[in-house]
Structure 1
Amino acid sequence: MQKRYPQPTRCPVCSGTLSVRTLECTECGTSLTGHFTACRFCQLEPEHLQFLEVFLRHRGMLSGVERELGISYPTARNKLDALLLALGIMPATIQQENGRISAQQQEILDMLEQGLITAEEAARKLRNLR
């Protein structure tokens, strides 16, 4: 049996993105050639993959991740945010996670932040949501 190596994610010459062009069956040797989408998780940097494994082992509990990796809660949370961004997932804000801000409230706050409405208009709109 041939030794297996982890799939490289970057070109060793120019650091460009590598694409999957050939798949081969280990049983019968059948080959498929084309342009295939690579697994998002397979393209993670080793540090992100290690964090993901620890995070899953602790069923998403950052306190367990803290203990196993010997890091603080804020560091664990920052590593989780970095992992999410590496996967192309935008981390939710703490307020949204806790359900303190509804989608309508967030929309009003976004409009205020963008300067589309004044603070007074935002306050009125937020009061009217109650």
Structure 2
Amino acid sequence: MVCKMSKNELLAIPKVCPVTGESLYVSELTSAKGEVVIRGKFALPEQDELSEEMRDFLVVFLRARGVISTMEKELGISYPTVRNKIDALLEAMKLEPFKHDKKSEAKAEDRAKILKQLEDGEISAAEAKEMLKKAGAK
């Protein structure tokens, strides 16, 4: 199957063959002026294999500079949901998170939950302050 288009028009790379449903790979690259053609079997970048939802989430993650509270506000979802989506994104990209101190991670999650409770009006500022002290926040 050959797709005809103008030289200046670029199409999104399809993820699967529209006829057979099989996965695809890039077999030809052409320079902008069309003077050089490179043939081979090239893998697609991992982020191209992500679903549109995952790519959109990755863009929000980058624009938020990885700040989860900003992502919560932009996406209108909770801290645990953001964390779950980050874990799903890591898995989809076949990446392992950096290993670090589990206690620090647990404390960060506890602080985030306390702040979420405060934001939702479930606890007062004084209660949040006391809870954060107990959780080891500075």
TM range, smaller chain: 0.5 to 0.7
Q: Which amino acid in 2 is paired with 1:53?
A: V
| Residue aligning to 1:14 | 20
Q: 1:48 to 1:3 in 2, by over 3 A?
A: same
Q: Secondary structure at the match of 2:11?
A: coil
| Residue aligning to 2:91 | 85
Q: 1:97 to 1:39 in 2, by over 3 A?
A: farther
Task: Using structure 2 for the length normalisation, give the TM-score.
Answer: 0.62
| Residue aligning to 1:48 | 54
Corresponding residue pairs, total: 100
| Residue aligning to 2:35 | 29
**TM-superposed deviation, 1:27:** 2.4
1:33-67 CA-partner distances (Å, limit 9, x unpaired): 11112211122211111111110111111111111
For residues 24 and 9 of structure 1, what CA distance do their matches in structure 2 show?
20
Q: Which amino acid in 1 is paired with 2:74?
A: E
Task: Using structure 1 for the length normalisation, give the TM-score.
Answer: 0.65
User: Unaligned 5+ residue runs, structure 1?
Assistant: 101-130
Q: Secondary structure at the match of 1:89?
A: coil
**TM-superposed deviation, 1:97:** 8.2
Identity of aligned residues (%): 38
Q: 1:8 to 1:96 in 2, by over 3 A?
A: farther
Q: 1:97 to 1:28 in 2, by over 3 A?
A: farther
User: Unaligned 5+ residue runs, structure 2?
Assistant: 1-6, 107-138
